[in-house]
Amino acid sequence: RDDLMRSPAVTFVRGDAFAFEPEGVVDWLLCDVVAFPERVFELLSTWLTRRRCRRFCVTIKFRGAEDYGWLARFKELLQAGGGDFFLRRLTNNKNEVTAAGVVTDA
């Protein structure tokens, strides 16, 4: 959206979501890329363990029931971070789960 792109609070960076490394800690990691759950897990794990963000909202997309086992791994990752988080299947996202939360000590 044009109004978002004009906001001084937003920095848009075009590139590879999995290779991007911010120069410092950012307020939000927002991730809604089409990728296998294991790739999104790696991305979120890296951002959380390196404390690259203060908050996050990540969409986990599943190909089918065989991918749902990843939910337990995401939950373990988020619990290990010690911050507040949730994993929710939002109403209109049939085969997706959203993980959002706050990173402690970021």
Using DSSP's 3-state secondary structure scheme, residue 100 falls into strand
Rounded CA separation 62/51 (Å): 26
For 55-95, write each residue's pLDDT tens digit.
Answer: 999 999 998 888 989 999 999 999 987 679 999 888 776 78
Listing from the earlier edge strand, what are the strands of the sheet with 96-102?
26-31, 53-61, 96-102, 85-88
Rounded CA separation 22/78 (Å): 21
For 14-70, write each residue's pLDDT tens digit.
Answer: 899 999 999 999 999 999 999 999 999 999 999 999 999 999 999 999 988 889 899
